[in-house]
Structure 1
Amino acid sequence: MKLVLLACLATATLAAPQTYGGSDNRPQYPHIAILRDERVDHGDGNFRYEFETENGIHVNAVGTPGSEGQSNIQGFYRFPLDDGSIGEVIYVADEFGYRPESALIPTPPPLPAHAIEQIAFAEELRRQGVEWDQYGFRINRK
């Protein structure tokens, strides 16, 4: 048991970041220059900001006052991926929530044909006024 504990401790020590510095002994990260940093806030709920760094990070957002007291924001962010390509997320955040769009976001597989047919059949029955109870049994015979 002691050997396993010693092996785990050694692995954790070797996996920890090795670049330390300063009096607080925190990891030091390379300096990334900010190429652009623009911010405008009109004070009435309208704002815009955009910044870009030398390593490919790019963020842009435009905000307006929402109809229900919230801020409506449209924007995007881009960042470099490990394979050298750029990942991008475009989003809207408003009274309907946060809605991102990106090829990076996983999507479920398509429904099989028989499931689509069953859903269409159930929708047709609902249009005809058919109702079901909490167990899925039909409660009216229209």
Structure 2
Amino acid sequence: MPILRYLLGALIGAYALFSLFPIATDAAFKLGMFDNPTGEVALMIPLWQATAWWHLALWLVVVALFLVAAWRLLRGGRAMAPYAAAFILDMALWATMKTLPAYGQVFTPAELRSDNYILAFMVACGVLLWLGERRRAQPAPA
């Protein structure tokens, strides 16, 4: 079903591009590009200070893998391997991030619950992707 592939490709690509925003803002803070952050931006400072550069680098790898998966979906190729690798690495990074005390400080309980919605969305995308590729791999009945 090409429509499902295009929809999944667009959703996964959008998620990957959306994920660039926190990486970019954290890196900009670490590089001193925020002179005197105020308001909502200032609330993120404890988390930015607690996040290591290696974490941001691995997060970029996750974004790249999701973009590869999205590109392959849009081009009609197989995307499960890069998607699964991105998903596993993303969940590992998310789990390490949640252990930081600053993570619980900067987000409200409602914002923390939204992590579960994102996880459910990513699992649903993975299941749909797996079912679609499994269906494509089955030979047509004779």
> TM-score scaled to structure 1, two decimals?
0.22
> Which structure carries more relative contact order (alpha carbon 8 Å, separation 6+)?
2
